[in-house]
């Protein structure tokens, strides 16, 4: 008989477990998709459209095919299955179908013995183009009725008026996810007409669905395996080279590798929608919002991708985490000849948070109120109705708590004169400390978790007890956010053992986990692992008549009654779950309804030092308080908060794809600027744990929140320092100087 | 991944061999390679056949400070070495420290930075982009995309050290097929985005020499959006000498990144020399710099903004020296 008390399992929920991929990534040992190779492989390369809009008059692949070492040159004529792909709407041809609709659209793909030959062969294809005028202004596209979706929200009384009115026009530029790992894929023929694809993806099952449709193959003929990812942020939610490498591999019977170069990556994935936003806020004299009127135009680029969901999100979060009875939103996402836009961290809520929070500051000014006090007065909480959809907030939403926690963080000291590198201008030594002006700004942001509007959103997981430990089987993608540890921690806590391994499964072995996006995997796959582990535990306890599962077996009243070997006497024991979040519904014609599954709120405070004469900004500190439900892994949360703030800071002061006539003018890391380590602010975080109603242990997904309100907080701080209106992000030095 | 084109790599052990190799068609000189390699990967040198590296040539690394204050910096001395050498004037160390990032400064060299290729938004893009438009002058085409009406190349001199060396009145040692020669560094540069150096392609810059400079006050400031890494979109080097009565006896003001060469600003220098060095003369000199430079829209941010910042930058540099 054993007398020990219940052991506390190591590495369970609530501890800062180290990520298994952390050390290999730092040491350079992590196998990214671009590291995959085999001796007999071919290299793929892509010929792209040199026009934003053009008719393909004639294409001659013969010169490329004639080159030594070239094994295949494929065009749209070689697509045997569905000619089009797309996650929501299948509207994009696999390869150019006679009209190029954006600059860099894939026209033909080549497989050759080596990378340089493939590249040269792509260049040897002769194409005759008839250039057409590109539509590069989304407003003109909307006027012409060329949209992917128009969203209309009508809540309350359109005729309502408030005595205090503020209006503004806001713009956000095109931000790129700029993942360090470029698009990469590896296709291996199985010798029986099928394929194994090793791809970078945020959702291998939805990629699989699109791939087999275009290849006209049965689901079990193609197996999609997740390959090592160097960042995603939404850029891998849509197909890039996946179908191309499959076609090349089938055509040649050889493994095919394709890796985009950095510049190709900039045209090879969807970006954050640039936006134009017209806002009117009306309030009473106490600062209570009376009516918010919003018009949004987002540029979706040439193909749909996730534009329809993005514009809905932008519209539903157009007011922010505030109560308001009367809300009118007219939103449209335009179809243009600009680079296609799609998912990026924050998914539409980033743009409207910039507009809405800029408005809240204007309103606070107009009322002579403290900006945080105005936000507290209007704060949305549990039981309140969403200003836009009217949905009643279930679960937790600690809007006031995050504002209070943020305010309690001490402000940083004034700029020190002893380290000139920490002044605006950095190593350029542009700015005497005496000329620096400091500003402080705030913003609060609201975001939904998981998929909305009635989408059948689920995640599958299988938890398996073996004599060697527990395996968690999932197709959920780890993009670097820390999902593997979260799954391990949940299983450990429920199953009483620290021996838990997460096994990435391919599309033939397990059902979909849904997308690694929308801040959803901690709650969705985490929820599936939670329920599967609990089901497995209950099943084992019931079979053996125990009351507790520990590392070494089943216990009844503190006595070991069945060892792990005995539990697994007939082989591994498993439990499989398909987890669904609370049901959501499509909005009605007025945009009303229970469209979202859950909500998460965060607040940011930015402190900036500005050189007003040069227009240079140093972001000194960005603090945040984040609603997390329950902190499953506190260190992973801090990592997400810091990384998200860096991305939000990028949009605030530097990240912008310059697009001219549909052409990206800065497709390199020399010219597309992302914050360097010297630009990185100090960051203080506060974690607010008010358990939610459906996440595992009450946890919420938090991946997007830090990117949403950090941008407007930084801009508010620059406004405070300079007195400039600053209605566009990124804020440029010339905007601050006023030229 | 961006890859290098197929190239022959030569690393001779003597300067004479290097000079001979540079006479071959398609030969390109490499010092640290930190600018050359990315340019090659973007296929900016379509005629390149051979890389002639100076890595194995003896005596091309090191800094000597002679008894009279003369500084001799061998061409392959890294920028990081300059940053860390406390014997060197602050202006040099700060200018070297403003180049790129710590990793690149460990690789990049003084000679490489002084001879760094001119840059342009229309040129420093991958070949897919250059091929999509008509190639520009510097890419072997017929027109300039930045100033289509002009017949010149406006690619931008992007060295941080060059304006400083001009302000300090440095000289450079060159070796070529006809032997060695020494020229004032100001004469090394030509305001032409394509032929931006006066030295022949067979000549190698071996050393930069800064003569005795006691009493000379100098500074360098570099403008760009981020705190680190990026090339300048405006640089100002200023060097002045003041007598006991605060009369300016010597002034050199040099703008970087606004033309295809470091640009002396004689109009500003003339304002200063012979006059009391005070806020009024500084303001006048700064204003006089406005008229000279005409930056174009071929770097980050707009030419309008850069133009407006020139007098601000000159004023701040001069104020620091007062």
Complex confidence, ipTM:
0.96
Contacts of B125 (CB under 8 A, 6+ apart): A263, A665, A667, A668, B42
Which residue from A51, A430, A734 is facing B222, i.e. has the nearest CB?
Answer: A430
Strand A222-226 vs strand B50-53: parallel, antiparallel, or unpaired?
Answer: unpaired
Q: CA dihedral in degrees (B187, B191, B193, B197; nearest 10)?
A: -10
Distance CA A238, CA A343 (A): 8
Residue A522 belongs to what H/E stretch? helix A521-544
- Enumerate the β-bridge partners of residue A686: A625
CB contact under 8 A, A737 and B305: yes
Decide: A221 and A195 in contact? Cβ < 8 Å: yes
Query: Is the CB of A613 inside 8 Å of chain B's CB atoms?
Result: yes
Q: Where are the alpha helices (DSSP H) in A89-241?
A: 115-124, 138-143, 204-215
Per-residue pLDDT tens over the stretch B94-139: 999 999 999 999 999 999 999 999 999 999 998 899 888 888 999 9
Estimate the crossing angle of helix A307-316 against helix A349-367, to 10 degrees: 20
DSSP A595: -
Q: Which residue has the tokens 């801090």?
A: A638
Burial A390-413 (b: 16+ CB within 10 A, else e): bbebbbbbbbbbbbbbbeeeeebe
Q: Is A555 helix (H, G, I), strand (E, B) or coil?
A: strand
pLDDT for the residue B292 = 82
A125 vs chain B: nearest CA distance in angstroms? 13
Which residue from A115, A653, A675 is facing B3, i.e. has the nearest CB?
Answer: A115
CB contact under 8 A, A663 and B223: no
Residue B67 belongs to what H/E stretch? none
Query: Is the CB of A432 inside 8 Å of chain B's CB atoms?
Result: yes
Contacts of A569 (CB under 8 A, 6+ apart): none
Q: How many CB pairs under 8 A join A and B?
A: 124
Q: Which residue of B has its CA nearest to A738?
A: B305
pLDDT for the residue A599 = 98
Query: Is the CB of A680 inside 8 Å of chain B's CB atoms?
Result: no
pLDDT for the residue A6 = 46
One-character DSSP codes across A220-266: GGEEEEE---S--TTTTSS-SSHHHHHHHHHHHTS-EEEE--HHHHH
Q: Which residue of B has its CA nearest to A733?
A: B225
Q: CA dihedral in degrees (A628, A629, A630, A635; nearest 10)?
A: 0
Distance CA A27, CA A465 (A): 32
Q: Which residue of A has its CA nearest to B235?
A: A428
CB contact under 8 A, B305 and A51: no
One-character DSSP codes across B185-232: GGGGB-S-SSS-BSS-TT-EEEEEEE---TT-EEEEEEE-SSSSSSPP
Q: Which residue of B has its CA nearest to A34?
A: B1
A678 vs chain B: nearest CA distance in angstroms? 6
The closest alpha carbon to A272, from A239, A237, A245, A240, belongs to A237
CB contact under 8 A, B1 and A259: yes
Q: CA dihedral in degrees (B199, B203, B208, B209; nearest 10)?
A: -80
Decide: A149 and A332 in contact? Cβ < 8 Å: yes
Q: Do domains A22-30+458-580 and A275-451+588-737 have the same CATH topology?
A: yes
Query: What domains lie within chain B, and their CATH numbers?
Result: 1-56 (3.30.43.10), 217-321 (3.30.390.50)
CATH of A22-30+458-580, one of 3.30.70.1900, 3.60.21.10, 3.40.50.720, 3.30.365.10: 3.30.365.10
Contacts of A538 (CB under 8 A, 6+ apart): none
One-character DSSP codes across A434-462: GG-EEEEEEEEEEEE-S--TT---EEEEE
**The dihedral sign for the CA sequence A439, A444, A449, A455:** negative
pLDDT for the residue A4 = 45
Find the radius of gyration of the CA atoms of chain A. Answer: 26
Which residue from B1, B2, B227 is facing A426, i.e. has the nearest CB?
Answer: B227
CA distances to A15, A173, A343, A483 from A237, in Å: 30, 21, 7, 17
**The dihedral sign for the CA sequence A121, A125, A131, A133:** negative
Per-residue pLDDT tens over the stretch A413-440: 988 777 889 999 999 999 999 999 999 9
Per-residue pLDDT tens over the stretch A58-115: 999 999 999 999 999 999 999 999 999 999 999 999 999 999 999 999 999 999 999 9
Mean per-residue pLDDT over chain A, rounded: 96
In the numeric block, which tokens belong to residue A217? 């193959």
Sheet strand arrangement including B63-65: B63-65, B71-74, B204-210, B171-176, B179-184
A267 vs chain B: nearest CA distance in angstroms? 11
Q: Which residue of A has its CA nearest to B223?
A: A428
Per-residue pLDDT tens over the stretch A709-734: 999 999 999 999 999 999 999 999 99
In the numeric block, which tokens belong to residue B184? 């004032």
Q: Cα(first)–Cα(last) distance of chain B, in Å? A: 50
The closest alpha carbon to A188, from A245, A243, A139, A234, belongs to A245
Burial A177-209 (b: 16+ CB within 10 A, else e): bbbebbbbbbbbbeeeebbbbbbbbbbbbbbbb
Contacts of B31 (CB under 8 A, 6+ apart): B54, B75, B76, B108, B109, B111, B112, B115
CB contact under 8 A, A430 and B131: no
The closest alpha carbon to A111, from A266, A246, A262, A269, belongs to A246
Q: Which residue has the tokens 């820390």?
A: A482
Which residue from A261, A421, A429 is facing B2, i.e. has the nearest CB?
Answer: A261
Which residue from B128, B229, B313 is facing A676, i.e. has the nearest CB?
Answer: B229
In the numeric block, which tokens belong to residue B221? 């400031």
The closest alpha carbon to A573, from A549, A590, A596, A547, belongs to A549
pLDDT for the residue A2 = 42
Is pLDDT at A3 greater than 50 in this prediction?
no
Which CATH superfamily hosts domain A33-133+182-228+236-268? Aldehyde oxidase/xanthine dehydrogenase, a/b hammerhead (3.90.1170.50)
In the numeric block, which tokens belong to residue A130? 């008839």
Contacts of B192 (CB under 8 A, 6+ apart): B152, B153, B260, B261
Q: Which residue of A has its CA nearest to B129?
A: A50
Decide: A344 and A266 in contact? Cβ < 8 Å: no
Distance CA A502, CA A474 (A): 8
Per-residue pLDDT tens over the stretch A603-633: 999 999 999 999 999 999 999 999 999 999 9
CB contact under 8 A, B6 and A616: no
**Which residues on A lie below 8 Å from B90 (Cβ)?**
none
CB contact under 8 A, A671 and B220: no
Decide: A353 and A313 in contact? Cβ < 8 Å: no
CA atoms within 13 A on the CB side of A229: 26
Query: Is the CB of A130 inside 8 Å of chain B's CB atoms?
Result: no
Distance CA B78, CA B32 (A): 8
Longest dimension (CA), chain A: 85
Which ranges of chain B have pLDDT less than 50?
Answer: none
Distance CA B5, CA A117 (A): 11
The closest alpha carbon to A360, from A376, A343, A336, belongs to A376
CB contact under 8 A, A425 and B223: yes
pLDDT for the residue A416 = 75
* Domain boundaries of chain A, sorted by first residue: 22-30+458-580, 33-133+182-228+236-268, 275-451+588-737
In the numeric block, which tokens belong to residue A497? 């053992």
pLDDT for the residue A504 = 86
B28 vs chain A: nearest CA distance in angstroms? 21
pLDDT for the residue A505 = 82
Contacts of B195 (CB under 8 A, 6+ apart): none
Distance CA B303, CA B297 (A): 5
Q: Which fold has domain A275-451+588-737?
A: Aldehyde Oxidoreductase; domain 4 (3.30.365)
Decide: A355 and A340 in contact? Cβ < 8 Å: no
Q: Suggest the residue from A120, A428, A436 to mutate for an interface test with chain B (most B CBs closer than 10 A).
A: A428
In the numeric block, which tokens belong to residue A158? 């359109």
Distance CA A137, CA A532 (A): 50
Is pLDDT at A207 greater than 90 in this prediction?
yes
Residue A191 belongs to what H/E stretch? none
Tell me the mean pLDDT in the region A13-25.
Answer: 94
Q: Which residue has the tokens 């080097």?
A: B237
pLDDT for the residue B271 = 97
**Which residues on A lie below 8 Å from B299 (Cβ)?**
none
Contacts of A282 (CB under 8 A, 6+ apart): A160, A161, A162, A163, A164, A165, A289, A290, A291, A292, A293
Q: Which residue has the tokens 């197996």?
A: A223
pTM comes to 0.97
Q: Cα(first)–Cα(last) distance of chain A, in Å? A: 82
């Amino acid at each position: 008989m054993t007398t020990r008390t219940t052991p506390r399992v190591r590495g369970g929920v609530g501890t800062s477990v180290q990520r298994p991929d952390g050390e290999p990534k730092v040491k350079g040992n992590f196998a990214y998709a671009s590291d995959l190779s085999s001796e007999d492989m071919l290299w793929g390369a892509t010929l792209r459209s040199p026009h934003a809009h053009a008719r393909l008059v004639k294409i001659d692949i013969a010169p490329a095919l004639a080159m030594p070492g070239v094994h295949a040159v494929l065009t749209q004529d070689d697509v045997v299955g569905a000619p089009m792909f797309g996650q929501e709407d299948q509207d994009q041809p696999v390869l150019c179908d006679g009209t190029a609709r954006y600059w860099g659209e894939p026209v033909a793909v080549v497989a050759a013995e080596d990378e340089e030959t493939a590249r040269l062969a792509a260049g040897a294809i002769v194409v005759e183009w008839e250039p057409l005028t590109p539509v590069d202004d989304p407003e003109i596209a909307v006027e012409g009725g060329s949209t992917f979706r128009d969203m209309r929200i009508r809540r309350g009384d359109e005729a309502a008026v408030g005595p205090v009115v503020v209006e503004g026009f806001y713009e956000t530029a095109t931000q790129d996810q700029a993942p360090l790992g470029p698009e990469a894929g590896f296709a291996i023929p199985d010798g029986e007409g099928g394929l194994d694809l090793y791809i970078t993806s945020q959702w291998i099952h939805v990629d699989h669905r699109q791939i087999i449709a275009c290849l006209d193959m049965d689901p079990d003929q193609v197996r999609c395996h997740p390959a090592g990812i160097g960042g995603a942020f939404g850029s891998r939610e849509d197909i890039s080279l996946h179908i191309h490498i499959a076609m090349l591999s089938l055509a040649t019977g050889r493994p095919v590798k394709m890796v985009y170069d950095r510049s190709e990556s900039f045209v090879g994935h969807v970006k954050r929608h640039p936006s134009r936003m017209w806002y009117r806020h009306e309030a009473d004299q106490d600062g209570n919002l009376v009516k918010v009127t919003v018009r949004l135009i987002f540029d979706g680029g040439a193909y749909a991708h996730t534009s329809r969901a993005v514009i809905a999100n932008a519209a539903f979060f157009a007011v922010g985490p505030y109560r308001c009875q009367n809300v009118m939103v007219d939103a449209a996402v335009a179809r243009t000849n600009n680079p296609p836009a799609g998912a990026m961290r924050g998914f539409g809520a980033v743009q409207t948070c910039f507009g809405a929070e800029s408005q809240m500051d204007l309103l606070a000014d107009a009322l002579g109120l403290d900006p945080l006090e105005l936000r507290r007065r209007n704060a949305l909480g549990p039981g309140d109705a969403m200003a836009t959809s009217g949905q009643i907030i279930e679960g937790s939403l600690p809007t006031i708590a995050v504002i209070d926690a943020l305010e309690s963080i001490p402000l940083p000291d004034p700029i020190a004169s002893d380290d000139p590198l920490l002044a605006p201008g950095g190593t350029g030594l542009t700015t005497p400390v005496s000329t620096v002006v400091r500003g402080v700004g705030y913003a609060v942001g609201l975001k939904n978790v998981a998929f909305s509007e009635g989408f059948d959103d689920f995640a599958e997981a299988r938890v398996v007890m073996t004599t060697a430990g527990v395996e968690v089987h999932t197709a959920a993608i780890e993009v670097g956010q820390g999902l593997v540890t979260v799954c391990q921690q949940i299983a450990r806590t429920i199953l009483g053992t620290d021996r838990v391994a997460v096994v990435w499964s391919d599309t033939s072995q397990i059902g979909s986990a849904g997308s690694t996006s929308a801040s959803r995997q901690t709650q969705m796959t985490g929820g599936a692992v939670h329920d599967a582990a609990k089901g497995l535990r209950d099943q084992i306890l019931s079979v053996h008549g125990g009351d507790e599962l520990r590392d070494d077996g089943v216990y009844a009243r503190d006595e070991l009654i069945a060892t792990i070997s005995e539990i697994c006497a007939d082989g591994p024991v498993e439990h499989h779950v398909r987890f669904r979040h609370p049901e959501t519904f499509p909005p009605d014609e007025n945009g009303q309804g229970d469209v979202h599954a859950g909500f998460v709120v965060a607040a940011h405070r930015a402190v900036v030092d500005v050189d007003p004469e040069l227009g240079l900004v140093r972001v000194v500190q960005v603090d945040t308080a984040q609603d997390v439900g329950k902190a499953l892994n506190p260190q992973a949360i801090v990592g997400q908060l810091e990384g998200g703030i860096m991305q939000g800071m990028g949009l605030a002061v530097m990240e912008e794809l310059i697009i001219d006539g549909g052409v990206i003018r800065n497709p390199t890391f020399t010219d597309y600027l992302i914050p360097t380590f010297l630009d990185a602010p100090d960051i203080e975080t506060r974690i607010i744990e008010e358990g939610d109603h459906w996440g595992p242990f009450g946890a919420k997904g938090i991946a997007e929140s830090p990117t949403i309100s950090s941008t407007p907080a930084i801009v508010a701080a620059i406004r405070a320092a300079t007195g400039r209106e600053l209605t566009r992000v990124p804020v440029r030095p010339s905007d601050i100087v006023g030229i | 991944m961006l890859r290098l084109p197929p190239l022959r790599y030569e690393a001779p052990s003597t300067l004479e061999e290097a000079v001979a190799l540079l006479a071959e068609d398609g030969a390109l000189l490499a010092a640290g390679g930190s600018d050359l390699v990315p340019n090659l990967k973007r296929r900016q040198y379509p005629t390149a056949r051979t890389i002639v590296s100076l890595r194995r040539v003896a005596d091309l690394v090191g800094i000597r400070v002679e008894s009279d204050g003369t500084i001799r910096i061998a061409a392959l001395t890294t920028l990081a070495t300059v940053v860390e050498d406390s014997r060197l004037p602050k202006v040099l160390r700060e200018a070297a420290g403003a180049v790129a990032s710590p990793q690149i400064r460990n690789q990049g060299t003084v000679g490489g930075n002084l001879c760094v290729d001119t840059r342009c938004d229309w040129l420093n893009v991958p070949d897919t982009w250059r091929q999509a438009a008509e190639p520009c002058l510097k890419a072997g085409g017929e027109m300039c995309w930045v100033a289509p009406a002009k017949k010149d190349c406006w690619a931008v001199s992007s060295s941080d050290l060059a304006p400083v060396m001009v302000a300090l009145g440095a000289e450079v040692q060159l070796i070529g097929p006809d032997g060695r020669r020494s020229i004032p560094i100001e004469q090394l540069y030509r305001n032409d985005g394509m032929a931006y150096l006066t030295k022949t392609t067979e000549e190698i810059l071996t050393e930069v020499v800064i003569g005795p400079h006691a009493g000379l006050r100098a500074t360098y400031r570099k403008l760009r959006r981020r705190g680190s890494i990026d090339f300048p979109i405006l640089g100002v080097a200023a060097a002045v000498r003041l007598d006991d009565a605060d009369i300016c006896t010597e002034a050199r003001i040099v703008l970087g990144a606004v033309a295809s060469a470091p640009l002396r600003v004689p109009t500003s220098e003339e304002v200063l020399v012979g006059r009391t060095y005070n806020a009024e003369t500084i303001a006048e000199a700064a204003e006089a710099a406005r008229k000279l430079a005409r930056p174009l829209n071929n770097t980050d941010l707009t030419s309008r903004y850069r133009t407006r910042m020139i007098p601000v930058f000159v004023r701040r540099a001069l104020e620091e020296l007062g």
